[in-house]
A and B are shown apart, each in its own frame.
Chain A
Amino acid sequence: MLGLNSKDFKLFAIVVVLALVAPILLNPFPVESSLGQSFNAGYPALMQRFMIFGLLVIGFNILFGLTGYLSFGHAAFLGVGSFAAVWMFKLLSYNIVPAIILSVVVAGLFSVIIGFIALRRTGIYFSILTLAFAQMMYSIAYSDLIGKFFGTVITNGETGLQVYNDDPQILLDAGDPKVPHLFGLEMNAQSVMNVGGWQFTFQNGYYLSAIFMILGFYLAIRIFRSPMGMMLRAIKSNQTRMHYTGVNTKPYMLAAFVISGMYAGLAGGLLAAMDPLTGAERMFWTASGEIVVMSILGGVGTLIGPVVGAGVIKYLENIVSKINDGILHNWFAFMPDCLDNLLVTIIHPFIGKGWHLTLGLLFMAVVIFLPGGLVEGGQRIGKLFRGRKSKASGSDKSAAGQPSTPAE
């Protein structure tokens, strides 16, 4: 269906359903309960981030997952997309359609230029080149060097770019809302549904990002299964052999780079559509590092991995940095006091402000023990269960005598 084989379609359908009912699924606990306050993630601001960063990492995965080229400067395209979108808000109106179109186009143009230069090198050199480009763009945006050069404002430096009342906004009608909207449909309009102690929030902006994420995911499946995806995988496994067989790999690489750059631009445009201000820190290299971390954590080169990685990191970031000692004491209240205090002291460095420590350790653990990311972890667990089942139902001979061999 939809040009997908049945397995891919199943995966796609699961993602679509999950994305659509996420506002309900992510609120498993009543609002007032202590668990709800700590673990609920079903509020729009966070769910939008799941979707937008999911989209971003899906795009990154087309480059890194398929071709193995590790770009350490992907956040630059995100930032470029955001700046382009905010400029559209400033010049035309708050309608997000031109903003998102321009953010994709501008990010695409930038990635054509950068990709054309950076792809002349491979391996670590490619990583450093993309890093250098991204840092350069960050510096330019942070000090608004282009703006200073022409004597105007382009990125507005440290303050960040936002829409002011005296901006031209030539397409703005009197009746238009003063927030980003889609032909009058306000992005931050939301309806709240109360069911018993539970509270579910549905927001336009979230569903817009979800729709874009679903479209992006669909496109990614098609790219993965296309002849071009095959070509990109071949580049990853042995580029030299590709050259020997007479294939010019450069156009394929550049196409992959530009596609992933456009995904990043789209994500940047969406971020701006959710909140019409942007700053240069969105392009800093730690932001690029975060993209890499997300895609590794989920599982590089798999379809669903990036979405999982982005979701897990954004969820943990939100939850772990919210937990404090008081909440921990609450949880461990059933234990004797000394044990309670001991546990809290041990856990203390990992929560709240120490969230990055948890992230770093988690990331290292995944790189060391699970090179395929959480998706591989899930597959291993699944295999374990299936293996046990088949063993139980299989003949006694094989189960009794030899130790079981790993399925790999």
Chain B
Amino acid sequence: MDAIILQILNGLDKGSAYALIALGLTLIFGTLGVVNFAHGALFMAGAFCTVTMQRILNLSQTVIDETQTDFLGNPLKVEVPYVQSWFGTEFGAALQDWSVLLAIFLTVPVMFFLGWAMERGLIKHFYKRPHADQILVTFGLAIVIGEIIKAFFGANPIQTPMPSAFVGTVDLGAWLGFDSGTILYPTWRLVYFFFSAVIIAAVFAFLQFTTFGMVVRAGMADRETVGLLGIDIDKRFTLMFGLAACVAGLAGMMYTPILSPHYNLGMDFLVLSFVVVVVGGMGSLPGAVAAGFLLGILQSFASMNEVKAIIPGIDQIIIYLVAIIILLTRPRGLMGRKGVMED
């Protein structure tokens, strides 16, 4: 029993990342009808927002410390980060420690702007073009974003430490009533899961309970009629694109301590999250989230040693296998609506 729970938990963090990316993809697809191959690049851009924040907080000046001397007897030059000299040593160090979470102040505006600029500058011109063209141009954009990141940050993965408060594991077994020590779970992954649960809930609440969300949902159902009612639906859809970019960016931002970001990260996640969207059903938000968690958990089950002993390497192909089976038996995906992408 505890082994099964452990595998479910192991699948949660990857599943949350898939779910967040798939949610953003579905938002874009549902509102604007665009298949966005650059969404993985947005995930990666979010991850690099964390890196940038960390670099900003670690910017330092060289101060001559008269109290210490080097081995020649000269006053020692010490690198003091600006934040520590401005906000005091202790508070500054705390800020640096929490840089992954502080990056949220950078990620949200940057990603929102990026999404907005992408929609207004590029994707706007592709609504009337065939889906293949949309796929191609966003695929090109994904290459370009990845390469720009590579030009600035280099090709190697960049380590981004998590806040020291979250280092280590949580003894979930004791919480859930099993023997203590049976289910140990890394704290940050738990944080990641709750963080993404909050974001998913927030997006759904935003769509469900605000007037803005209501208009957007109406626009998703019937864009033309909403336009005829005198509502500028295009403007709202543009904002939704920004929101979807934010969701992907936040997912990437929080994922950095789990996986060191590198310029190809987006591509790795993109393929999988597309599979997730298709399994969940194109255009269905709950489907995307459910399929994200489902596939994440399936993947972690498939990587159990007991399973791998029977079919070696099943963990690497299980997602694609499931996708193929689902597409063939339930062509619209788990929760797909009728008439989406069937022309």
Q: Which chain A residues have a beta carbon within 8 Å of chain B's beta carbons?
A: 68, 70, 117, 120-125, 127-129, 131-133, 135-136, 139-140, 143, 145, 148-149, 285-286, 289, 292-293, 296, 349, 353-354, 356-357, 359-361, 363-364, 367-368, 371
CB of B312 within 8 Å of the partner chain: yes
Q: Do B317 and A68 touch (CB < 8 A)?
A: no
Say yes or no: A133-B140 contact (C-beta < 8 A), given A143-B316, A145-B317, A148-B312.
no
Q: Do A363 and B327 touch (CB < 8 A)?
A: no
- A359 to B143 alpha-carbon distance, docked (Å): 8
B133 cross-chain contacts in A, Cβ below 8 A: 367, 371
- A208 to B320 alpha-carbon distance, docked (Å): 37
- A405 to B137 alpha-carbon distance, docked (Å): 29
Q: State which of B163-171, B247-255, B267-275 sits at the interface with chain A.
A: B267-275
Q: Do A133 and B271 touch (CB < 8 A)?
A: no
Q: Do A139 and B136 touch (CB < 8 A)?
A: no
Q: Do A367 and B341 touch (CB < 8 A)?
A: no
CB of B215 within 8 Å of the partner chain: no
Say yes or no: A360-B144 contact (C-beta < 8 A), given A128-B275, A136-B321.
yes
Say yes or no: A124-B35 contact (C-beta < 8 A), given A286-B267, A357-B148.
yes
CB of B66 within 8 Å of the partner chain: no
A357 cross-chain contacts in B, Cβ below 8 A: 143-144, 147-148, 150-151
Q: Do B342 and A123 touch (CB < 8 A)?
A: yes
Q: Which 8 A-B pairs have the closest CB atoms?
A: A360-B143, A357-B147, A364-B140, A145-B313, A360-B144, A139-B316, A132-B320, A136-B320
Q: Do B320 and A135 touch (CB < 8 A)?
A: yes
Q: Do B341 and A356 touch (CB < 8 A)?
A: no
- A148 to B327 alpha-carbon distance, docked (Å): 28
A285 cross-chain contacts in B, Cβ below 8 A: 271
A136 cross-chain contacts in B, Cβ below 8 A: 317, 320-321, 324
- A135 to B155 alpha-carbon distance, docked (Å): 23
Q: Chain B, 111-143, contact with A by CB distance < 8 Å: what is the 0/1 string?
A: 000000000001001000111110111011101
19 new A-B contacts at CB < 8 Å, known A136-B320, A367-B137, A371-B133:
A68-B130, A68-B132, A123-B131, A123-B341, A124-B131, A129-B323, A129-B324, A139-B320, A143-B312, A145-B312, A145-B316, A289-B139, A292-B136, A354-B147, A357-B144, A360-B143, A361-B144, A367-B136, A367-B140
B155 cross-chain contacts in A, Cβ below 8 A: 353
Say yes or no: A149-B311 contact (C-beta < 8 A), given A354-B151, A357-B147.
yes
* Residue of A whose beta carbon sits closest to that of B331: A121
Size class of the contact patch on chain B: 35 or more
- A296 to B135 alpha-carbon distance, docked (Å): 12
CB of B343 within 8 Å of the partner chain: yes
* Residue of A whose beta carbon sits closest to that of B323: A132
Q: Do B313 and A140 touch (CB < 8 A)?
A: yes
The minimal Cβ–Cβ distance linking A129 to chain B, given in whole angstroms, is 6
A123 cross-chain contacts in B, Cβ below 8 A: 131, 341-343
Q: Do B327 and A121 touch (CB < 8 A)?
A: yes
- A293 to B139 alpha-carbon distance, docked (Å): 9
Which of A127, A132, A296 is the one whose CB lies under 8 Å from B324? A132
CB of B246 within 8 Å of the partner chain: no
Which of B122, B136, B267, B343 is the one whose CB lies under 8 Å from A296? B136
- A285 to B40 alpha-carbon distance, docked (Å): 14
CB of B8 within 8 Å of the partner chain: no
- A88 to B142 alpha-carbon distance, docked (Å): 39
Q: Do B312 and A364 touch (CB < 8 A)?
A: no
- A123 to B130 alpha-carbon distance, docked (Å): 10
Q: Do B311 and A129 touch (CB < 8 A)?
A: no
* Residue of B whose beta carbon sits closest to that of A355: B147
- A357 to B144 alpha-carbon distance, docked (Å): 5
B35 cross-chain contacts in A, Cβ below 8 A: 124
The minimal Cβ–Cβ distance linking B287 to chain A, given in whole angstroms, is 14
* Residue of A whose beta carbon sits closest to that of B272: A135
A364 cross-chain contacts in B, Cβ below 8 A: 137, 140-141, 144
Which of A124, A129, A356, A371 is the one whose CB lies under 8 Å from B147? A356
The minimal Cβ–Cβ distance linking B176 to chain A, given in whole angstroms, is 34
Q: Do B328 and A133 touch (CB < 8 A)?
A: no
- A127 to B278 alpha-carbon distance, docked (Å): 11
CB of B19 within 8 Å of the partner chain: no
* Residue of B whose beta carbon sits closest to that of A368: B137
The minimal Cβ–Cβ distance linking B284 to chain A, given in whole angstroms, is 14
Q: Do B324 and A360 touch (CB < 8 A)?
A: no
Q: Do B317 and A139 touch (CB < 8 A)?
A: yes
- A122 to B125 alpha-carbon distance, docked (Å): 24
B331 cross-chain contacts in A, Cβ below 8 A: 120-121, 125
CB of B294 within 8 Å of the partner chain: no
- A133 to B331 alpha-carbon distance, docked (Å): 16
- A145 to B321 alpha-carbon distance, docked (Å): 14
Q: Do A70 and B135 touch (CB < 8 A)?
A: yes
Say yes or no: A368-B125 contact (C-beta < 8 A), given A120-B328, A139-B316.
yes
CB of B282 within 8 Å of the partner chain: yes
B139 cross-chain contacts in A, Cβ below 8 A: 289, 292, 363
Say yes or no: A360-B147 contact (C-beta < 8 A), given A125-B327, A125-B331, A367-B140.
yes
Say yes or no: A125-B341 contact (C-beta < 8 A), given A357-B151, A363-B140.
yes
Chain B 149-198 interface residues, beta-carbon cutoff 8 Å to A: 150-151, 155
B150 cross-chain contacts in A, Cβ below 8 A: 353-354, 357
B137 cross-chain contacts in A, Cβ below 8 A: 364, 367-368
- A257 to B343 alpha-carbon distance, docked (Å): 20
- A132 to B130 alpha-carbon distance, docked (Å): 22
- A285 to B274 alpha-carbon distance, docked (Å): 13
The minimal Cβ–Cβ distance linking A121 to chain B, given in whole angstroms, is 6
- A125 to B331 alpha-carbon distance, docked (Å): 9
Query: Could you give 5 example pairs across A and B, Cβ below 8 Å?
Result: A121-B331, A129-B324, A139-B316, A353-B150, A363-B139
Q: Do A349 and B316 touch (CB < 8 A)?
A: no
* Residue of B whose beta carbon sits closest to that of A362: B140
- A124 to B144 alpha-carbon distance, docked (Å): 22
Q: Do B278 and A356 touch (CB < 8 A)?
A: no
Q: Do A140 and B317 touch (CB < 8 A)?
A: yes
B317 cross-chain contacts in A, Cβ below 8 A: 136, 139-140, 145
B278 cross-chain contacts in A, Cβ below 8 A: 124-125, 128
The minimal Cβ–Cβ distance linking B245 to chain A, given in whole angstroms, is 18
- A286 to B271 alpha-carbon distance, docked (Å): 11
Q: Chain B, 83-118, contact with A by CB distance < 8 Å: what is the 0/1 string?
A: 000000000000000000000000000000000000
